[in-house]
């Protein structure tokens, strides 16, 4: 498996999901079900499979190129911070379901903040970290197992959420 190629493909996938959610919100819609499904999807895909694969790659490179070790290891902390933000959003959504008071303006602001953080992370990796990792990987080659052997379920799930997000019929908060 070409790990760099696979990670870049994942990024395209994640970008497109974030973009669909952003467009859904920008149309003035706020379907809590769809927001939750998108968060769950990102949780299933990015947090369970994509981040661990990146962490594995960076840990390999850090052990072979100590001068870059700090930068490579930092990614794990970045992932942790992103996952904490996702968990916080999940708690907020659960709170809304239990009828905690939160205005749709506050929720929207938090969602936009979360989307931007996710997008910035992807951009940082695509523009800066993955090119560095790619050249270091040529010097210190290694094989990585794609940790998602059968991702059909996730792909189908993605297609179904993408379809619903693209359709202007969400319910308002």
By beta-carbon proximity to Fe ion, the closer residue of 29 and 54 is 54
By beta-carbon proximity to Fe ion, the closer residue of 4 and 102 is 4
Q: Residue 135 CB, nearest distance to Fe ion (Å)?
A: 17
125 binds Fe ion (CB under 5 A): yes
Tokens for 69, please give them: 């070790």
C-alpha dihedral, 138 to 12 to 80 to 33, nearest 10°: -160
82 binds Fe ion (CB under 5 A): no
Residue 47 to residue 30: CA distance in whole angstroms: 24
C-alpha dihedral, 33 to 38 to 41 to 42, nearest 10°: -140
Q: Residue 77 CB, nearest distance to Fe ion (Å)?
A: 11
Residue 37 to residue 1: CA distance in whole angstroms: 29
Angle at 55 between CA 50 and CA 59, to 5 degrees: 155
Residue 26 to residue 20: CA distance in whole angstroms: 10
For Fe ion (CB under 5 A), the number of binding residues is 2
By beta-carbon proximity to Fe ion, the closer residue of 1 and 166 is 1
Tokens for 167, please give them: 């359709």
Q: Residue 81 CB, nearest distance to Fe ion (Å)?
A: 11
Q: Residue 46 CB, nearest distance to Fe ion (Å)?
A: 7
Q: What is the C-alpha radius of gyration for the chain, rounded to an integer number of angstroms?
A: 17
Interface with Fe ion by CB under 5 A: which range of 29-37, 61-69, 108-116, 124-132? 124-132
By beta-carbon proximity to Fe ion, the closer residue of 125 and 136 is 125
Interface with Fe ion by CB under 5 A: which range of 84-92, 120-128, 134-142, 158-166? 120-128
Residues 33-72 that bind Fe ion (CB under 5 A): 54
Residue 130 to residue 128: CA distance in whole angstroms: 6
Q: Residue 161 CB, nearest distance to Fe ion (Å)?
A: 19
Interface ranges with Fe ion (CB under 5 A): 54, 125
């Amino acid at each position: 498996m070409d790990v760099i190629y696979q990670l870049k493909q994942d990024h395209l996938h994640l970008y497109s999901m974030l973009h669909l959610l952003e467009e859904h919100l920008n149309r003035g819609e706020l379907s809590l079900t769809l927001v939750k499904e998108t968060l769950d999807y990102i949780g299933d895909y990015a947090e369970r499979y994509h981040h661990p694969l990146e962490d594995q790659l960076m840990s390999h490179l850090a052990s072979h190129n100590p001068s870059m070790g700090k930068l490579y290891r930092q990614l794990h902390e970045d992932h942790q911070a992103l996952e904490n933000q996702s968990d916080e959003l999940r708690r907020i959504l659960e709170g809304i379901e239990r009828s905690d008071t939160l205005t749709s303006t506050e929720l929207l602001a938090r969602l936009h903040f979360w989307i931007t953080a996710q997008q910035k992370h992807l951009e940082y990796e695509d523009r800066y970290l993955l090119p560095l990792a790619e050249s270091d990987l040529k010097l210190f080659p290694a094989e990585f197992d794609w940790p998602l052997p059968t991702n059909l379920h996730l792909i189908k799930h993605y297609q179904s959420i993408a379809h619903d997000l693209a359709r202007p019929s969400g319910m308002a908060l």
